[in-house]
Chain A
């Protein structure tokens, strides 16, 4: 290949895209199975991405009291209670079996799980705090008892740090502040990838036989109505789709209800994750002061399932009883501040920092998107249908994080990250790498540089914000045929009239964040189209997916996966029945 294609060329066996938990975990295992590994991180490795944020890890393990709980029980919880049969049971089985192993391994590498006075790993009493949400108490934590500025615990931070230590011991090369724009495929096999190093403003061509996508979820397409970090723009979904593999259940995402409704930069930060967290029961009121949940669910009131509360908040606003930002109000006035402070010191600090006085102020809250349930279709070896293309973590359609069960994100990333690394190494050992198509590479490099070389045009951030607004307005928590069609029109308009007109105002040779945004916009468009078209296809409501025109769960017709894939005619959506190899719906256990 000619030197003129990219500024820098890297040859390796396995390319890992993503530097959170699944990515580094994959890199470690690929290296230990004898492969050369190169890791690309879009933010700064160790200081960016959503992997820093999870507060707990949820799995059975050596800490499990076998009289009360077991791997089999966890498997049933995942399939029946949490996923309600909307999952691949083979993958659920692995999720239940391997979680404990991965968390013990993390401890061997230096993770310090919180322990009780007897020195036993202590289990976080999630069942008490989140009634109807946690299926059973099996959450373990890191940093629960320490004093910390913000956020309850530091389990995500701890995990990222411990993995970074292992990456360092294995001397795995990586580059950060670099975004992958394309994955190259020849004869349905991966041949390499193209990336842009926006810190140095250089193009980077990676020649490799296997790619592990571990780039996290897509919730940035809903900015600012999301709690995820800036990196989670859904690049991985678009890369996989363009490479020719399938995306499953893209319409499914999770959300949380009690986030700050303003200012924008604090939107998506949970005031509380459950009203009972604050020591006493915090009330949720509408703008006329009613505790409106008494009407929606007289028994459980504020402690109704999270989805019900979120929908009630939106309904109150729709009927004219919402706050100035369309939300509801959290009321702590009847709980002594000292109790709140003792119960959730981190959250109390955040509330005070924003200038709220909980003795007299009500705090406006609004739902925000939390994480993705659907994603890149994989088999138990994390392999997609494109040879050499693997996926792990939130970007993959494995079990994913679920608010019903809670706190499965870290475990999910560790399990599938390890598997992806191991099987990607095995694949690259037994398959010779093909060359990327030169014309294809040159075309992609040219396309990437268009916004940089254009003298004038639309700044990428403007295009991104238009997309994000359209996505929240028409494909947010509650959607309908009409709202989805409208969003689809905006997406098509952006693709037709804005994407090719993008121009970065930054033309310097150092730190061109606008080039990153320009590449993200292209990825977000593809990912968003998959979300909207999948949402249009699923004509029912279930779990956290709500269609106002099809409000009922319809197991008879819709216990199916919705699949998006690329064809010559554009995006094709199909549905596929789910297989039930172990537990069948409707059969009592």
Chain B
């Protein structure tokens, strides 16, 4: 276990309204034992730059998948993976970037939402529940 007091993380940030292309921004955040990537993002949002945009919901349940990003070049959940010194956090590839780590999921969600998944049993009580 590292005893480092602080770590540096690089975030690939984009603001489509003002940036021609993504910017690399390095942040120094205090290290806490067993800290996750999301703890670093939360620290930055609270203490350094509240405009840092990223999605999150379930926190360490790995159930919602909203916080997914590229962590050192590999896709992962920021709530689930460890924060390490020198790591690079970038938005998921293959999606248009909306802002910072937020990607455009609309087409993906539309496709998921318009799939018909279940086979619907007829109205009278299903015998399969007996």
Question: Which A residues contact B (CB, under 8 angstroms)?
Answer: 43-50, 52-53, 61-63, 104, 107-111, 113, 121, 149-151, 156-157, 161-162, 164-165, 168-169, 176, 199, 229-231, 260, 262-266, 268-269, 350, 353-355, 459-462, 465, 504-506, 508-511, 513-514
| Chain A residues, Cβ within 8 Å of B109 | 44-47, 176
Distance from B126 Cβ to chain A, minimum over Cβ atoms (Å): 5
B117 and A355 contacting across the interface, CB-CB below 8 Å: no
Among the stretches B4-12, B21-29, B39-47, the one at the interface with A is B39-47
The interface residues of chain B lying within 8 Å CB-to-CB of A168 are 113-116
Residue of A nearest to B120 (CB): A109
Q: Tell whether, in the assembled complex, residue B118 and residue A263 are in contact, meaning their CB atoms are under 8 Å apart.
A: no
Partner of A263 from B32, B50, B113 at Cβ < 8 Å:
B32
Residue from the list B32, B57, B123, B128 in contact with A231, Cβ < 8 A? B57
Q: Are B126 and A107 in contact (CB under 8 A)?
A: yes
Closest to B47 in A: A462
| Chain B residues proximal to chain A, CB less than 8 Å | 1, 15-18, 32-36, 38-39, 42, 45-46, 49-51, 53, 55-66, 79-80, 82, 98-99, 102, 105, 109, 112-123, 125-126, 128-130
| Chain A residues whose CB sits within 8 angstroms of the CB of B79 once the complex forms | 265-266
Q: Is the CB of A46 within 8 A of B112?
A: yes
In the assembly, what is the distance between CA of A3 and CA of B21, in Å? 36
In the docked arrangement, what's the CA distance between A46 and B110, Å? Answer: 11
Residues of chain B contacted by A462 (CB below 8 angstroms):
46, 50
Of B16, B58, B82, which is in contact with the most chain A CB atoms at under 10 Å from its CB?
B58
Known contacts: A505-B50, A506-B51. The answer to whether A47 contacts B59 by CB under 8 A is: no
Write out the residue numbers on chain B whose beta carbons fall within 8 Å of the beta carbon of A44: 55, 57, 66, 105, 109
Establish whether residues A151 and B63, one from each chain, have CB atoms under 8 Å apart when the complex forms. Answer: yes
Residues of B within 8 A of A265 (CB): 36, 38-39, 42, 59-60, 79
Residues of chain B within 8 A (CB-CB) of A260 are: 60
Kindly provide the distance from the CB of A117 to the nearest chain B CB, expressed in whole angstroms.
Answer: 16
Min CB distance A305 to B, Å, is 25
A111 CA to B64 CA in the complex, in Å?
19
Query: Are A513 and B53 CB-contacts (below 8 A) given A108-B120, A265-B38, A465-B46?
Result: yes
A511 lies within 8 A of B51 (CB)? no
Interface of B is mostly: loop
Complex CA gap A49/B59 in Å reads: 11
Which residues on B sit within 8 Å (CB–CB) of A355? 1, 34, 82
Cβ-defined partner of A61 (8 Å) among B35, B117, B120, B129: B129
Which of B18, B128, B129 has most A Cβ within 10 Å? B129
Closest Cβ of chain B to A97, distance in Å, is 16
Chain A residues closer than 8 Å to B56, beta-carbon distance: 230
Contacting residue for B61 out of A110, A113, A231, A269, CB 8 A: A269
Known: A107-B126, A509-B17. A150 touches B51 (CB 8 A): no
Roughly how many angstroms separate A123 CA and B1 CA in the complex, as a whole number? 42
Which residues of chain A are within 8 angstroms of B51 by Cβ–Cβ distance? Answer: 504-506, 514
**Once the chains bind, are A110 and B117 in contact (CB under 8 Å)?**
yes
A264 touches B42 (CB 8 A): yes
Nearest-Cβ distance from residue A269 to partner chain B, whole angstroms: 4
By a CB distance below 8 angstroms, the chain A residues around B99 are 508, 510-511
Question: CA–CA, A509 to B15, complex, Å?
Answer: 10
Contact assessment for A49 and B113 in the assembled complex, using a CB-CB cutoff below 8 Å = no
Which residue of chain B is the closest to A120 with respect to CB atoms? B130
Q: Is the CB of B46 within 8 A of A268?
A: no
A204 nearest CB across to chain B (Å): 17
In angstroms, Cα B119 to Cα A62, docked, is: 21
User: In the complex, are the beta carbons of A459 and B64 less than 8 A apart?
Assistant: no
In the complex, the answer to whether B126 meets A461 with C-beta atoms within 8 Å is no
In the complex with contacts A108-B126, A269-B61, A460-B50, A508-B113 CB distance below 8 A: no
Is B53 in contact with A506, judged by CB distance below 8 angstroms?
Answer: yes
In Å, the complex CA distance between A258 and B6 comes to 29
Q: Return A51 CB to nearest CB of chain B, in Å.
A: 10
In the assembled complex, the Cα of A53 lies from the Cα of B61 at a distance in Å of: 8
A111–B118 CA distance with the chains assembled, in angstroms: 8
Query: Contacts A262-B33, A262-B34: A53 and B129 contacting too (C-beta < 8 A)?
Result: no
Q: A104-B129, A263-B32, A264-B39 are in contact. Are A508 and B15 (CB under 8 A)?
A: yes
Q: A52-B64, A104-B126 are in contact. Are A230 and B39 (CB under 8 A)?
A: no
> Would B125 and A104 count as touching, CB distance under 8 A?
yes
Known: A108-B120, A109-B120, A264-B42. Is A47-B64 also a contact (CB below 8 A)? yes
> Given the interface contacts A107-B129, A505-B50, A505-B51, does A165 sit within 8 Å of B116 by beta carbon?
yes
CA A511 to CA B14, docked complex, whole Å: 12
23 contacts between A and B (CB under 8 A): A47-B65, A48-B58, A48-B64, A49-B57, A52-B58, A107-B121, A110-B117, A150-B61, A263-B39, A264-B39, A264-B42, A269-B61, A350-B60, A462-B46, A506-B53, A508-B18, A509-B17, A510-B16, A510-B99, A511-B53, A511-B98, A513-B53, A514-B51
Contact across chains for B33 and A514 when beta carbons are under 8 A apart: no
**Within the assembled complex, what's the spacing in Å between the Cα atoms of A156 and B64?**
11
Closest to A509 in B: B17
